[in-house]
Structure 1
Amino acid sequence: MAYSCNTANETLEWINAIIAFLKPFKPLMDAHVVNFFKDKLWESIDKQWMDCLCVEPVKNLLKLPSGVIQDHWPTSLKEFILTLRSLVLPRDQGDLRMMLPDLHTNSISSVLAQGMNLKKKHEVEILAAIVKSVAESVGAQTIVDVGAGQGYLAQVLTFQYQLSVVAIDASSHHGTVTNARAGRIRKHYAAKMRKSHPNKLSLEGLQDVGTHPPCKSEFKSSLVLAGLHACGDLSVTMLR
């Protein structure tokens, strides 16, 4: 079956197919490396597969991630690899202008860019513009910046794009740094903010999201989840 990400429903169908495919192998995926050896978890793998792959030349094993199969392999193994290959999400870089026709990227002022290197500045400029465009397209009133760090993205969204932002980070140190940085920026933007109708960014005491999650009553409108560097399992945690 050919999958597509052309619509939200098609994307969800693809994701559900991946979940269904991976579910039988969850014990293997959730196991720590130590447990894999201690509990001999390889014994849970189909014996035909193991007998076949254990004697297979390394050059053929290296082709497995690319979906290359061998004619003499068990039928179930070949079907597994081909199905796996068909479920791989596309890695081609998308055309942002096509996906978000109203996207307008603005350069960050020197005040907002303080502390950022060129790479970070480029990342924040692009993602902030994307978040702004998505928020407008879905009518979201609040942005939740998960893993906000020192608040680079959150502060650009607030001061430059006048969006209401809830910044969440597990590190109290990051909260202190963010508050100090926001204070310096706020002084510069005070006059500009009074002339417009900005939404104030609440940066006081960033909380450990695992210990003090925001109350559901705080979010009465639609939200946009954002993460500048959603490394490790942060992306998964954000969606739970």
Structure 2
Amino acid sequence: MTLNTNKMLNKENKVQIEIQSSMCYKIYQQYGWLLNAYVSDYYVSDYWRQLPQSWRDSLENLKPEVLASIIDPAAALTDFQILPLSLLSLRQSLIYLSLPRAQEFLYVDQLKPTYSLLYNKNVMQNKHFKNCFWKRIKMKKRHEIQLIAKMCYKLANETQCNYIVDVGSGLGHLSRVLCYMYGFRVCALEAQEYLTTEARKLDDLMENKMKNYFDGSINNKLRVTHLNVKVKTNCDGSDILEAVKEAFSSNDNIQFGIVGLHPCGNLGPTLLRLFKHSSRVKFLNIVGCCYMKLTTPGYPLSTYCKQNNYDLQYSAREVACHALEAYIAKLKVGDFDQLKVHAYRAALEKLIINRSPSMYHSQVNSVKCTDGLEFAEYCSKATSNLGIELSRSEMDSLEIRNYLDDWRNVVVFYSLRLMMAPLIENIIMLDRVLYILESGHHCEVTSLFDPKLSPRNQILTAKKY
């Protein structure tokens, strides 16, 4: 029985979650070599021959659009796709154990605000007001801000809390929505001083523009408090408590909720620890990000995962941050130029270590794949920072030409890794869920964002009553 994200998680289903976590980790142990492999090493390590023979026989030179249905958990396999039983079993296990990624819609319009003096629905619906918020904000960010703000609104009503701390606030776009549209008292914490300064300027600009459209509809006493604070990620978040005291000019009794839109690496776990240890934190609302930057204080968190030594290598945590749905879309349309880049990178790695073994895994430049990008041009752009110049004879050798002709199998190998990427995110998410449940609090996992727009679309929320 797998975790239902529409259900409040509590101590009654903790054992179920432990079993699910254990099953996920057993799959990782079995296929860890695949998840921990770098596609750039495909030719160097001859990864194709490390796949089971039955897999190679069924997947060799597979058309991208057929491959898309194999790695897409929402797609049904067609009658002509004859796959080995071990691969079918893996695919079905991933579907069964994975947290659902399909977007779950959040309805909050019928909630009655507990802080009605600060809330003005007419302001929220005014087109001029909306334009002030969304100008120069990309669609992905706008999508995320609108939905995570609604979730904050829901949690605030349920916990009777109207103070919110936005950790990693950047330019303050989410903080402004929470403050001016929903009426929360907001403290925005950002590590980069430049972003804090720019956020204050954007606040001033918005307020000046809004004076032309409203007469007293906006509470002039409501302003986001922007603080330049670099939260320590190896402690329990006590520096956040100090910032809250400064922001709200209050005593130590102010209770607040925490929101983190993609807190990087160990910052997310720090927010979880603060929620656990401080009675002042009423709710938590965070979206994972940059799992490869997690270190020992950040994973594992739960007693259960620590006792079972659930360790994840860097490369596996890194692939968990990739965009599965977006890649499936590329496969379906047969965007060959975008797909061939995997073979380009793997062939380039072979050329680099042939030239100089000490440069193995050197950081090359990221190269945007455009229509008709030739391998020689790719190599020139990718290695411009390494101080080496590959000759035409090296790049045109028979070995390299054979590698490039083999690009479909490189895509197959990359796709198999990506098919398993949600498994790693599940392991990390279940560890965080168990950490909350071991603390005696309730939590939920909600696939709030559209995964095609926002690959990290699962939100972990927790609250105290």
Q: TM-score, normalised by structure 1?
A: 0.64
Task: Give 2:408's aligned residue.
Answer: none
Q: Give the alignment partner of residue 28 of structure 2, picking from 18, 23, 29.
A: 23
Q: Does the aligned pair in 1 maintain the 2:167–2:263 contact within 8 Å?
A: no
Q: Give the aligned partner of residue 102 of structure 1.
A: 111
Shift of 1:108: 5.9
Q: 2:225 aligns with which of 177, 196, 202?
A: 202
Q: SS in structure 1 opposite 2:5?
A: coil
Question: Structure 2 vs 1, CA of residues 20 and 154 (structure 1 numbering), >3 Å: closer, same or farther?
Answer: same
CA deviations over 1:70-120 (Å, ceiling 9, x no partner): 6853322221112223345445443422x7752786336846853633977
Question: Is the contact made by 1:175 and 1:203 (CA closer than 8 Å) also made in structure 2?
Answer: yes
Distance 1:41 1:86 in 2: 27
Given that residues 141 and 163 in structure 1 are in contact (C-alpha distance below 8 angstroms), is that contact kept between their aligned partners in structure 2?
Answer: yes
| 1:131-159 deviation line (CA, Å, top 9, x unaligned) | 22222223456534355332122023124
* Secondary structure at 1:102 match in 2: coil
- C-alpha distance in structure 2 between counterparts of 1:182 and 1:147, whole Å: 17
Q: Which ranges in structure 1 are unaligned for 5 or more consecutive residues?
A: none
Q: Secondary structure at the match of 1:224?
A: strand
Unaligned stretches of 5+ in structure 2? 114-120, 242-251, 269-286, 292-297, 299-465
Q: Deviations over 1:13-38 (max 9, x none)?
A: 39737843663345544554323443
Equivalents in 1 of 2:224, 2:234: separation in Å?
18
Q: 1:53 to 1:173 in 2, by over 3 A?
A: same
Is residue 2:196 matched to residue 1:175?
yes
In the alignment, which of 83, 87, 93 is matched to residue 77 of structure 1? 87
Secondary structure in 1 matching 2:259: strand
Task: Write the letter of the residue equivalent to 2:177.
Answer: V
Post-superposition CA distance 1:198-230 (Å, at most 9, x none)? 5x633133x455889994253485633242xx4
Equivalent position of 2:8 in the other structure = 8
Match of 1:114 in 2: 132
Q: Percent identity?
A: 17
- Do the aligned partners of 1:175 and 1:204 also contact (CA within 8 Å) in 2? yes
The residue that corresponds to 1:35 in the other structure is: 41
Aligned with 2:288: secondary structure?
helix
Q: Distance in 2 between matches of 1:176 and 1:130?
A: 27
Tell me how far apart the structure 2 counterparts of residues 72 and 38 of structure 1 sit (CA, whole Å). 30
Which structure's CA Rg is the greater one? 2
The amino acid of 2:288's aligned partner reads V
Q: Is the 8 A contact 2:133 2:177 kept in 1?
A: no
CA distance in 1, matches of 2:185, 2:236: 15
How many corresponding residue pairs? 231
Give the secondary-structure state (helix, strand or coil) at the position aligned to 1:182.
helix
Residues 108 and 125, structure 1, Cα contact 8 Å, conserved in 2:
no
2:54 — aligned with what?
A: 48
Q: 1:184 to 1:54 in 2, by over 3 A?
A: closer
Distance 1:8 1:55, change over 3 A: same
Residue 259 (structure 2) aligns with: 225
